[in-house]
Amino acid sequence: MQPPLLEVEDLGVTVAGKTLLQDLNFSLQAGQSLGIIGPNGAGKSTLIQALCSQLAPTPGSQIRFEGQSLSDLPLRTRARQIALVSPREKVPPFAMTVEAYLRLGRAPFQNWLGQWRPEDTVLLEKAADQCAVTSLLAAQLSTLSSGEWQRVQLARALIQQPRLLLLDEPTAHLDVSAQLCIMHLLWQLSQAGMGVLVVVHDLNLAAQYLDQLLLLHAGCVVAAGPPAAVLTAEHLETVYSLSWQIQQDPERQRPLLLPKYH
């Protein structure tokens, strides 16, 4: 039996004596999308950082990629197989065009001369089109809006053709139309066989576009499973301290959520 694309067991993270994540267990298959949801401070971004080795997990934590410990994977292999889109990545403090930045996505596949191949150009053009940044290729990164920078980062990640795509709030700073386009693109990528793990604040976007959800609160898992099983009134009231009205989308058969305002 083939192991999951990503498998996490007993994951914990402690920083400066404070426990940020505790006993997280989940897996992600190739061709599946997993949404990480929860309030501010729940540990969502901490989880992404732990998966990218930006934060050290506590002893006994296990993170495996296709059955192999993530810490044992060569850096070049990681760079080829796993891509990250994060709001913590800032615009470089030097002049660089969008196209030059996107070209960095092919660096793990190039030889020591950094030779650019015709097939790399095809991948760049496809990713730019998917993320609606083709018109920005000649622009300087410093001139981009926050939403444009977000889409450019995603395009660079797609040029890597990763097996696993990690995203931390990829719809932040985007208007409603752009949010829907990005979430639909992530759905398409997972349908094509990519593993997609994404931190999302908008619960309705998570419900409509993602296969599985992991609801976090105070660094612990409250619920995990399909959107209908996770996004219950009981779970949401526990985590968000709000009452919720939950309906069913008659067309997509997915939950529709509305908080009850005081």
Say which CATH number the domain at 72 has.
Answer: 3.40.50.300
Non-local (6+) Cβ contacts of 17 within 8 A are none
* Structural domains of the chain, count: 1
pLDDT greater than 90 at residue 173: no
In a domain, 215, yes or no: yes
pLDDT of residue 8: 98
Which of 25-34, 96-105, 132-141, 250-259 is predicted least confidently?
250-259
Distance from C-alpha of 124 to C-alpha of 233, rounded to nearest angstrom: 43
In a domain, 1, yes or no: no
Non-local (6+) Cβ contacts of 184 within 8 A are 209
pLDDT of residue 114: 67
Q: Look at phi and psi of residue 172 and say left if phi exceeds 0, alpha if psi is from -120 to 50, else beta.
A: beta
In a domain, 107, yes or no: yes
CB atoms within 10 A of CB 142: 12
pLDDT of residue 257: 92
Q: What are phi and psi of 245, to 5 degrees?
A: -100, 120
Distance from C-alpha of 186 to C-alpha of 198, rounded to nearest angstrom: 9
- For the chain, the farthest-separated pair of C-alpha atoms sits apart, in whole angstroms, at 62
In a domain, 167, yes or no: yes
pLDDT of residue 128: 98
Element (H, E) at 257: strand 255-259
In a domain, 236, yes or no: yes
In a domain, 202, yes or no: yes
pLDDT greater than 70 at residue 122: yes
In a domain, 37, yes or no: yes
Range of the domain at 126: 6-259
Q: Are 14 and 214 contacting, i.e. CB atoms less than 8 angstroms apart?
A: no
